[in-house]
Amino acid sequence: MLSSKRISLAKVAARAFITPVTVRTFASSSIARNVNITLHKASFETYNCDTPSLEVNISKEELVKMYHSMVIMRRMEMASDALYKAKLIRGFCHLCTGQEAVAVGMETALTPDDKIITAYRCHGFTYMRGASITSILAELLGRKAGISAGKGGSMHMFTPNFFGGNGIVGAQVPLGAGIAFAQKYLGHNASTFALYGDGASNQGQVFEAYNMAKLWDLPCVFVCENNRYGMGTSASRSSANTSYFKRGDYIPGVKVNGMDVLAVHQACAYAKEWTTSGKGPLLLEMETYRYGGHSMSDPGTTYRTREEIQHMRSNNDPITGLKQRLLELNVVSEDELKAIDKNARAEVDKAVEESKASPEPELKAFWEQVYKKEAGIPFLRGREPEETHHF
Partner 1 sequence: MSIATLRTSYLAASLASVSRSMLKQQVPIKSQYAATNSPPPPEGFMPGVANSKFIRNTHHEALRNPELAGVANGETKKMNTFQAINDAMSIALATDDTACVFGEDVAFGGVFRCTMGLAEMFGRDRVFNTPLSEQGIAGFGIGMAAMGSTAIAEIQFADYIFPAFDQLVNEAAKYRYRSGGEFDVGGLCIRTPCGAVGHGGHYHSQSPEAYFAHTPGLKVVIPRSPIQAKGLLLASVRDRNPVIFMEPKILYRAAVEMVPVGDYELPLGKAEILTQGKDLTVVGWGAQLYVLENAIQLAQKKMPGLSVELIDLRSILPWDVETVCNSVNKTGRLLIAHEAPKTQGFAAEIATTVMERCFLRLEAPIQRLCSYDTPFPLIFEKFHVPDMIRCAEGIERAMKF
Task: Give yes or no for residue 153 binding partner 1 (CB under 8 A).
Answer: yes
Contacts of 83 (CB under 8 A, 6+ apart): 89, 137, 140, 141, 352
Count the site residues for partner 1 by CB under 8 A. Answer: 53
**Could you say whether residue 352 binds partner 1 (CB under 8 A)?**
no
Q: Which stretch binds partner 1 (CB under 8 A): 49-57, 68-76, 84-92, 102-110?
A: 84-92
Stretch that binds partner 1, among 26-34, 50-58, 69-77, 199-207 (CB under 8 A): 199-207
CB of 200 to partner 1, least distance (A): 6
Instruction: Note whether 170 binds partner 1 by CB under 8 A.
Output: yes
Q: Which residue number, 50 or 368, has a Cβ lying nearer to partner 1?
A: 368
User: 204 or 376, CB closer to partner 1?
Assistant: 204
85 lies in the binding site for partner 1 (CB under 8 A):
no
- At 283, is the secondary structure helix, strand, or coil? strand
Nearest to 29, CA basis, from 53, 61, 54, 56: 61
Give the contacts of 222 (CB within 8 A, at least 6 positions apart): 173, 176, 194, 196, 206, 209, 210, 213, 248, 251, 281, 282, 283, 284
Shortest distance (Å) from residue 375 CB to partner 1: 14
Candidates 86, 299, 376, 378; binder of partner 1 (CB under 8 A) is 86
DSSP 102-122: HHHHHHHH--TTSEEE--S--
Count of C-beta atoms within a 10 Å radius of residue 1: 6
**41, 87, 306, 372: which one binds partner 1 (CB under 8 A):** 87
- For residue 183, CA distances in Å to 83, 220, 273, 344 come to 39, 10, 15, 36
Residue 370 lies near partner 1 (rule: CB under 8 A): yes
Segment 371 to 390, residues that bind partner 1, using CB under 8 A: 380-384, 386-387, 389
Q: Is 239 in the site for partner 1 (CB under 8 A)?
A: yes
State in angstroms the smallest separation of the CB of 368 from partner 1.
9
* Enclosing H/E stretch for 59: strand 55-59
Query: Binding residue for partner 1 (CB under 8 A) from 185, 216, 367, 391?
Result: 367
Q: Is 359 in the site for partner 1 (CB under 8 A)?
A: yes
DSSP string, 216-247: TT--EEEEEEE-SEETTEEHHHH-S---GGGT
Identify the CA nearest to 391 among candidates 358, 362, 359, 369.
Answer: 369
Could you give the residue ranges of the DSSP H alpha helices within 246-301? 261-276
User: Does 1 help bind partner 1 (rule: CB under 8 A)?
Assistant: no
Residues in the site for partner 1, rule: CB under 8 A?
86-88, 90-92, 142-143, 150-156, 167-171, 199-200, 202-205, 230-233, 237-239, 297, 302-303, 356, 359-361, 363, 365-367, 370, 380-384, 386-387, 389
